[in-house]
Amino acid sequence: MSDIIKVHDLPGIEDYGKSISEFSKSYSAAVSDTERTFSLKKQNSELDALEAFYNKLNLLQEKVFHKVPEALEKYSKTNTVFSSTVKNAGFEVKAWTSESGRGTVTKTLTGDQTTAVSKVKSELQPALDTATQLLEIDSINLSPIQSKAEEELSTESTNRTNTHNAVDGAHRTFVQGLDETTETINRLQRDVNNAKSILRMPADFVMNSISHKVLTKDKMYYLDSMSNDVDASVVKDVLSESPGNIMKQRPEEISESAYNVLSAEVTDWVIRGKKGDKLAEKKLNHFVGAMGDEPTTKVDQFTTSMLQAGDREAWTLIANMKQNHAKNPNDPKIGRDQERLTNVNEFIGLMKSINLLDIGYGTEISELAHETYKIPTFKSTTTTKRMKNIDITNSGVTFSVSTNIKAFERKNVLDTVAVDQPIKDETTTETYRSGTMAGIGANLVYNKAKAAELQKAREDALEAFQEDVTVSVSKGIVNTILPGSVTVLELLQSFSGDDESKSEGLASLSDYNPSKKGSNALSAISNVAKAQFAFNSKVDQLQQEKLEQTQKSIGEYLKKGTWYLEGDKKTYTDSSIYYDFNATLRAEEMNDRGMLGYVETKVPEAAQSGLTPEQWIEKQIKNNEVKVDKQTKDYLMGQSDKNITDMNQGEINRLTNALDGIIGGNDSTGNRGVEKYILYLDEKYEYKEN
């Protein structure tokens, strides 16, 4: 980077600053007549939502009407202070300085030129002394002249340094102020765009959505997601009874935050559908049904983004559950979040089903073997798949998929006329169920054909998410990367820096500033995201390995559930898209404590005999003549850095054999030692509400 500072027009900078200040004042005057305060005193669920909407309007007004002119005024001051400081340094219109130039001048003045003066004096003084003696006149001493010259050279060097420092200091202050103001204005720009988007939504639609409990207090964050016309349309359509209209949008133009809203709302339809809500089921059918009218490539892009949004909510839920579990393992909020996570898994599975089944239409063109014809001849085959008759149940989502194959040949008549001849128009229907199985410990037959692309897209999304988190912490932006919900706000509040900030609470994500409150919350979510993705992928990989009857899989230890898609002909499964909090806890206990917790809980006689869990394990190994390698022994003692998800099947087999030998079998139940250990994990990590 160049160390040169150039200013081309100081008066122009000053005038620009004044113009910005005048604009800020005019802006404030213009909006003063528009500003209103919205308030509501009565309370019920509907009025609570209306009050939340009013609070949002008030908050937006505060930012748009007051924070914007404040930021502009600060920007104006940054310009005028810079201009006046540089002018005071001795410049009028243009200014130039550089650190290297300052150093060169200083070195020249106080070094080279001072040395030259000294040299001239030393060479001239003897000659003058000789001349004055011969002339018999008073001697001439050049030392005062030398001192005066050196003093003036030093003064000039100091002046050059002071001028540089003044300009450099002003420039540094200017750049810092500019960066700060730019960040502020960028945040406010989103708020302005958000306000514009809300205003584009018809007031009667918002009021109707509130009165019909579609837009509730807890869902008011939906409005935070809107930053452009596309997002506003998406939010409006998802709240309406015709959410399929969303498919008219280009998937790449929908923002991440809008996808967060979509995924949250579709998940809510699943929840309501399980409770018999026919409207929710109708909306889901309309939404998915519209996908059959779009190209498969577009539907794939859309469902991939939806699945990624589901990932983000799952990461946030698990981060919140871990935070609450650390404080109180039986906190009722864990049960609430687990229920939500279960339904998020259902939603993710449904999106994957749509993606895997190639819902939408696609056309294949193949040339016919008549190359001599002037008019091209070809065969066209269009395959259209539609998802219909969606039924939401507690055991999953059932639906039918109709597949229509329509083909024609374009033939050549007398080498002059093209004629389209239909050759096929056939429709078949297959019934499917998309669901989840918790704690199954194993996978079914899995087809990886199309899933690899989706998995890669999710991996890329994870990397982007982590980068976004880093930027968010530094710039104070959060609601673009996280699904806004009660859970998110709770998590952010739990990491707030002091009691005062906690007591203030957060009305919405737009109130949250990571640089001041709870930046650790974002880091926690990022860490959970990375860990969960790696955990799910590894378990899925290991659960697919074929095992002997006596072997135990990683799935049997962790009892991690899976998503499945069961059709008339095939069954697909994928545990990598299934988020299992209890499996995470089981893995953490095994990795941190091995079998120490088992001994403390299930072998009370060990403590009564004065043995520590470690001593009891050592005694069992010796008494039962258990053959166990050091790595496995360290793991069982809670003294290993090894994670169970890092183990290959051979290492898991050695772990199983060691547990069998150390714990021993039970004649009454027929359980082996490893099975008693797994039962202990089952009992401990079954959620129980106080």
Q: Give the residue, 620 or 102, on which the prediction is more confident.
A: 620
Q: Could you give the angle at the alpha carbon of 438 between the alpha carbons of 650 and 330, nearest 5°?
A: 105
Q: Tell me what pLDDT residue 387 has.
A: 95
Confidence band, pLDDT 50/70/90 cuts, at residue 442: very low
Whether the per-residue pLDDT at 515 is higher than 60: the answer is: no
Q: Give the residue, 532 or 613, on which the prediction is more confident.
A: 613
Separation of alpha carbons 617 and 630, rounded Å: 13
Q: Tell me what pLDDT residue 342 has.
A: 92
Whether the Cβ atoms of residue 402 and residue 385 lie closer than 8 Å to each other: yes
Q: Tell me what pLDDT residue 530 has.
A: 77
Give SS3 for 389. strand
For the CA atoms of the chain, what is the radius of gyration?
37
Please provide the average confidence, as pLDDT, over all residues in the chain.
75
Confidence band, pLDDT 50/70/90 cuts, at residue 689: very low
Q: Tell me what pLDDT residue 500 has.
A: 40
Angle between helical axes of 45-61 and 203-211 (0-180°, round to 10):
140
Angle between helical axes of 278-289 and 256-274 (0-180°, round to 10):
130
Tens digits of residue pLDDT in 310-357: 988 898 898 888 888 888 888 888 988 999 999 999 999 999 999 999
Separation of alpha carbons 609 and 599, rounded Å: 13
Out of 78-92, 567-581, 594-608, least confident range: 78-92
Q: Tell me what pLDDT residue 492 has.
A: 66
Confidence band, pLDDT 50/70/90 cuts, at residue 102: very low
Most confident of 39-43, 109-113, 538-542: 538-542
Q: Tell me what pLDDT residue 22 has.
A: 63
Separation of alpha carbons 606 and 617, rounded Å: 10
Task: Give the bridge partners for 362, in sequence order.
Answer: 383
Q: Give the residue, 669 or 433, on which the prediction is more confident.
A: 433
Query: In the numeric block, which tokens belong to residue 393?
Result: 């149940």
Separation of alpha carbons 44 and 400, rounded Å: 41
Q: Tell me what pLDDT residue 355 has.
A: 92
Whether the per-residue pLDDT at 397 is higher than 80: the answer is: yes
Confidence band, pLDDT 50/70/90 cuts, at residue 96: very low
Task: Give the bridge partners for 565, in sequence order.
Answer: 434, 572
Tens digits of residue pLDDT in 493-504: 666 544 344 434
Q: Give the residue, 427 or 668, on which the prediction is more confident.
A: 427
Tens digits of residue pLDDT in 401-426: 999 999 888 777 666 667 777 888 99
Q: Tell me what pLDDT residue 468 has.
A: 67
Q: Tell me what pLDDT residue 299 has.
A: 95
Q: Give the residue, 39 or 491, on which the prediction is more confident.
A: 491
Angle between helical axes of 581-593 and 673-684 (0-180°, round to 10):
120
Whether the per-residue pLDDT at 9 is higher than 90: the answer is: no
Q: Give the residue, 105 or 196, on which the prediction is more confident.
A: 196
DSSP state of 295: B
Separation of alpha carbons 297 and 306, rounded Å: 14
Give the residue carrying structure tokens 């998940």: 267
Separation of alpha carbons 363 and 383, rounded Å: 6
Q: Give the residue, 611 or 447, on which the prediction is more confident.
A: 611
Whether the Cβ atoms of residue 597 and residue 638 lie closer than 8 Å to each other: no
Give the residue carrying structure tokens 């797994």: 678
Give SS3 for 134. helix
Whether the per-residue pLDDT at 170 is higher than 90: the answer is: no
Q: Tell me what pLDDT residue 525 has.
A: 76
Tens digits of residue pLDDT in 22-77: 656 665 655 555 555 555 555 555 677 776 676 667 666 766 666 677 777 776 77
Whether the per-residue pLDDT at 459 is higher than 80: the answer is: no
Share of the chain above pLDDT 90, in %: 27
Measured CA distances, 236 to 217, 319, 509, 643 (Å): 16, 30, 20, 46
Measured CA distances, 276 to 73, 264, 271, 281, 391 (Å): 56, 19, 9, 8, 10
Whether the per-residue pLDDT at 589 is higher than 90: the answer is: yes
Tens digits of residue pLDDT in 541-576: 766 665 555 566 777 788 888 888 988 888 888 888
Q: What is the mean pLDDT of residues 572-597?
A: 90
Q: Tell me what pLDDT residue 577 has.
A: 87
Give SS3 for 499. helix
